[in-house]
Each structure stands twice: as C-alpha cells, then as structure tokens.
Chain A
Amino acid sequence: MTLARETLIDLWTRMIRIRRFEDRVAIIAANNEADGFLHTYSGQEAVAVGVLPLLNDGDAFTSTYRNHGHAIARNIPLDGLAGEVYGKANGVCRGKGGSMHVADQDFGMIGGMGIVAGGLPIATGAAYGYKYLGKDNVSAAFFGDGAVHQGAWHESLDFAALFQCPVIFVCENNLYAESTYIEYHLNAESISAMAAPYGIPAVQIDGMDVFAVRDAMEEAIERGRSGGGPSLIEAMTYRYGGQYEGDNQLYKPAKEVTWWREQDPLLRFRETVDGIIDAAELDAIDEQVQAEVTVAFDVAIAAPWPDVSELTTDVYAPLA
C-alpha cells in the first residue's frame, strides 16, 4: 500500500459516509417520510470514492439520478444533500432539484441528470471548453450500463474522440439497466470493448476495489491533462438497493446478491488496510459518520420549505 495513511482514512470516511447516508435514505423511503423518486448508491461506493477525490479544483463532472454517492464523495455537506432529498429550503439546490438533480458546481459537481446518458454530452463539452480555454482541467461523466444504448452515449464518445477532449467516461456497471440484466441488453462483449472503435483507451476494472478504481482514474486523468484525450473506465459493481427505493428486485438471484455482498467495497477496504489501520479506528469513524448523518437529517427535517415565491425564480439568468 503506497497511499498515505491520511489518504486511506479519507477514502474510508467518504465511503462509509455514503453507506450511512444511504442507509438512512432507505429508511426514509420505506417509511414514506419523503416524496419523490429515491435511488440509493449503496454497494457502488468504491467507484465514486475511487474517482472523485482525484479531481482538482476547476475540474467538473456530470452525474446521474443515482447521485448521492457522487455528492458525498466530493464532500458536499450532508445537511444540504439531506435537505435536497426532502425538497427543503436548505437543500443544495434550494429544494428545486430533488434527489435526482443534486448539484453543487463549487465542488465540481455540474449535477445529477434524470435522463439516461444525458450528462455525457455536457461533460464532453466541459472538457472541450477546458481544452479551448487552455486549461489543464479534466471532466468526468458517470453513467450506468444501461446508458450505452443511448444515441447520446455514442455521440459523446464520438465527439470526445474527434476533438480529443480530456473527459473520462466512468461506467458504473452494476449489471442492471433498471430491471434488465446485462446479458440480455448488452450486445458487445463488454462496455469497455465498446470504446475501442472510437479509439478511446478503456479498461474494465473491479469496481468494488477503491484502489483499483483509483489507479484507473489516475491513469485516465494523466492522459487527459497531458493532452492524450478521452478515456473510459468500466467499473464492475453492484447496487444493493433496487433501481429505485421500492423496487421489488425480483430479478436478482439470491446467489448473485450473496456473491456481491462478499465483494462489499467497505469489507474489501478493511481487508486491504488490515495491518495498516486498526479496525477499531475504522469503527470509530463509522460511529462518527453515523452521528453526522443523524445531525444532517435533523437539520433537513427542521429546515423550512422553500417559500412559494421560489416557484418562479431562477428560470432565466438576469441580463448583465
């Protein structure tokens, strides 16, 4: 393990923070405590945390409707995130986006997109902009395995390759496009193989191993910042929840669930750092994070609703 101890602690903190936040979201959904469609990120923590801490100030990324993990991996404050889940005035988008549209550009998060593959052209354009403006920034675009069928997916890889944009396409391949299994919907051998015709370097990696994700992302970022153009990372992962909270998940075989639970990214992390960091220290961080999550939701629950006058604001930017 070549990473510094504080980096390891940081990775653990971000991953466990995602898990505990989503544990709470699942409870909220089960109890009907919040309105709206909720999509939890549990199981996929190693992808967000392998990728996102590596972005620099000025870099940006697009997310999906399964975005809580991405927001937390960028250290967006939990109270604002919890507020957005409820649609409260303290939400990161002042309640106007909701769980599917979490965004905070100050943290590089362009935002969560509710349209499958909708963010890829935008992240590609951000990278195009960096290149044009002479900045050494990169952008990233998260998408699921279901997104590869969209024309927007193809057009983004096509554009990025044509103009050599420093964008990193990050596939969270959790085996299911909503309820549809990958062996049914994917015609190609793999998603990483689909990058080859565009001439985009791609790797398929273990998305339950935060270190493997991080290594792949470091290489992709280096390629982007040094003028080498786009990259694609296919991270094999698994979502523990449904497509949405409330999904019956009848399509998941029990054996499959058990196998992936054994690959749990938090468990894998503990194994990897065994002998470097005491389990008790990781447990203590877990407890501290659980307290943070409780406070964040207390704040969100106590926060006011947006004033109804907000309905008609922010539609257009004012003229300078």
Chain B
Amino acid sequence: MTRTLNIKDALNEALRQEMEVDSRIVLMGEDIAGGAGRDDVNPEGTDCWGGVFGVTKDLLGQFGRERVVDTAIAETGFVGAAIGASLVGMRPVVEIMFADFIGTSYDQLLNHAAKLRYMYGGKVSVPIVVRTVTGAGFRAGAEHSQTLYSLYTHVPGLKVVAPSTARDAKGLMLSAIRDPNPVIFMEHKRLYLLDDDVPEEPYTIPFGVARIAREGSDVTIVGVQKMVHTALDAAKVLAEQGIEAEVIDPRTYSPLDEDTILGSVEKTGRLVIVDESHPRCSLPTDISALVADKGFASLRSPIKMVTGPHTPIPFSPPLEDAFIPDPDQIVAAVKSQFEYATT
C-alpha cells in the first residue's frame, strides 16, 4: 500500500522499519534525539529535537537511548567509533548534521572507512551509513549549505547516495543500511518536505540504477539531487517550445549508472548536467568526461554544465538565490545547444 509521505518521514520510516528487525543498528549523532541529560524535564522517551531536521523524530521513544545515541559534538570521534563498532558486528547509522562538517570527520572516512577493506586484503568490511545534509537555499551561509558530493565520490571504497524523492529516499536508505560497505547518504535540506507516493512495506532500490524522471527525445538533462526538480521545471518550459527533454536522476553517484546516461544521450544527442555545487572537479565534469569519452559519436552539440559559481555560498538572500541554478539557466543552456546544431 502506498500513501503520501515527505522525504523526512520516508527516511524516518526506513530507519524505524530496519531497526525493528535488526538490533545491530544504532543511530549516533549530534542531537538526533535531543535533550540528553535532561530526561528529568520530560516524560521518558521524549526526544526534544529528533535531529535538527526531525528525521530521527520519535525513534527515541521506540528504541531508547541505547539505540538512538546523542553523541558529543565530535565528528571524528563518533564516525571513527562507528567504524570500529561495525568491525565487531554492529550496523551503525551516524548523522553528520551538515555535510559541511565533513572536514571534522574526513580522515576517518577518507583514510579508514574507505580503505580498511582494500589495504587489509579484503578480510574486513565497514558496514556503516553516514547520513548527512546537503544543499543551499536555506539562508544558512557558507558553512551550512554545501553539497560536496564530489569530495566523497572521488574516494574509492565509499558509496554515495543522494535521493531526490521520498520513494527513492526510503528504498535507498534500506539498501544503504543493508550494504556491507560505508555509504554516504546525502539528504537535501530543501527537499525534506517534498511529498511522494511511498509504499508502506519495506523495499530496497539498488545502487547504480538511475531513475528517468521524465522521458524525452531531444535533450538529456542529468540533475544532481535537488536539481532534478529544477530540470523538470525547465523541461516544462522547453516542452512549450517544442523541445522534449529527458531528465535523469542518477540517484547514486558511486556507483554511477553510466549506461542509462549514455543510452539517453545516444537517443537525444545533447547533454546538459545541472548541479548546484561548485563547477570544478564535480559530478558535471565527471559525467561530461564520461560522455565525451564513451558517447562522443552521439553528441550533436557541446555538453553544457549548469552549476553554481566557483565561490563560497553567500548568506544574503538575493546573492544565494543567484548562486543556485534556476530553470531559466537550464533552458538557455539547452537552447544554445539547438542554436549550435543549426549553425
């Protein structure tokens, strides 16, 4: 049975359902329950926050502080502890409150979680999920708004997941928890309240399989997480002008579904990649290189990237709005491709 849920609640349901059947799972992070140490103020099992975005709300009441663990503000400590706990049989799901805080935990992810299996000759695996929150548009300033997809995708040994719908969020989260490898699970803070039809029963969505969000024959637009929706908005405008865009959501960046992207470009002959991240060494440059290498013969015009600029993310609302790609930029990029094709 399906019903309407937003991404936040779909993730909450995924965590709850998997915790109910697998006692090895603990959630760890900063204020994921909230109010630790003041259980005297509220009835037992009351979480004050449930995480700053409420993704883990009410899980404390069902699972207790043993399994919904508020840590100190120390990402290296608790991410590393999750790695160690996973090595002795647990399935930790940790939350890094904002993806920007990667800096304070990155050594444990980059040099340990990602590498232990390889450098120790394949005898161990690190089944952890690191949930983290991405994205601009929240008036959160330069240190609480980044996406940083490529900083994780670059590292062999990590898997990188970034859903853009509630249905995908639930299915990918269940796959992430069951995966024997470290998975970076990126949740966009501006998508948490987006509704979708979500099956009630547990289900998984495999990694490395893109979702075609809209079918079309004239141009392929790959959207990165929230930009899937921006691309869909652009596709509506393009359709009014007689251009049918195919919009692809890769859903996972490591592994990446190369075949779906290449197959679509083979059909359309044009590729635009849209990402709110900074442009250099990014998913758009990565996907561009893929298609330039393996899909060159299909291309009828240059590949276009629509991204944020190579700047930190500003606070001032008009500046931040200008940072984030909008449908008009996508439409302009597509039209430039058609102009190229006709010259």
Contact = CB atoms under 8 A, between A and B. Distances in A.
Contact of B123 (A105, A313, A315, A318): A105
A183 to B, nearest CB: 28
Interface stretch (A124-132, A219-227, A254-262): A124-132
A101 interface: yes
Contact of B76 (A101, A103, A121, A316): A121
B108 A320 contact: no
B90 interface: yes
A60 B71 CA distance: 23
B113 to A, nearest CB: 9
Interface stretch (A18-26, A151-159, A206-214, A293-301): A151-159
Given A125-B80, A151-B76, A105 B124 contact: yes
A284 interface: no
Nearest to B122: A314
For B78, B111, B121, B159, which residue has the most chain A Cβ atoms within 10 angstroms?
A: B121
Given A151-B76, A317-B125, A129 B88 contact: yes
Interface stretch (A32-40, A92-100, A272-280): A92-100
Contact of B81 (A62, A110, A121): A121
Given A118-B108, A122-B112, A132-B90, A314 B117 contact: yes
Interface string A123-148: 11111111011010101000000000
Interface string B70-85: 0110101111111111
Interface in A31-79: 60, 62
B87 A122 contact: yes
A120 B121 contact: no
Nearest to A106: B123
A229 interface: no
A125 B107 contact: no
Contacts, number: 165
Contact of A103 (B77, B82, B123): B123
B81 A124 contact: yes
Contact of B84 (A105, A121, A135): A121
A208 B125 CA distance: 36
Contact of B120 (A101, A130, A151, A158): A101
B73 to A, nearest CB: 10
A118 B112 contact: yes
Nearest to A159: B77
A162 B72 contact: yes
Contacts of B116: 103, 110-111
Given A101-B119, A101-B120, A126 B76 contact: no
A156 B181 contact: no
A94 B122 CA distance: 9
Given A121-B80, A159-B77, A162-B72, A94 B85 contact: no
B180 interface: yes
Nearest to B110: A115
A133 to B, nearest CB: 6
A319 B120 contact: no
Contacts of B66: 132
Given A105-B123, A105-B124, A159-B71, A115 B111 contact: yes
Contacts of A92: 121
A92 B104 CA distance: 32
3 shortest A-B CB distances, which residue pairs? Answer: A121-B80, A125-B84, A155-B77
15 contacts: A60-B88, A96-B118, A97-B121, A103-B123, A110-B124, A111-B120, A118-B111, A121-B81, A121-B83, A121-B108, A125-B84, A128-B85, A130-B88, A132-B90, A320-B180
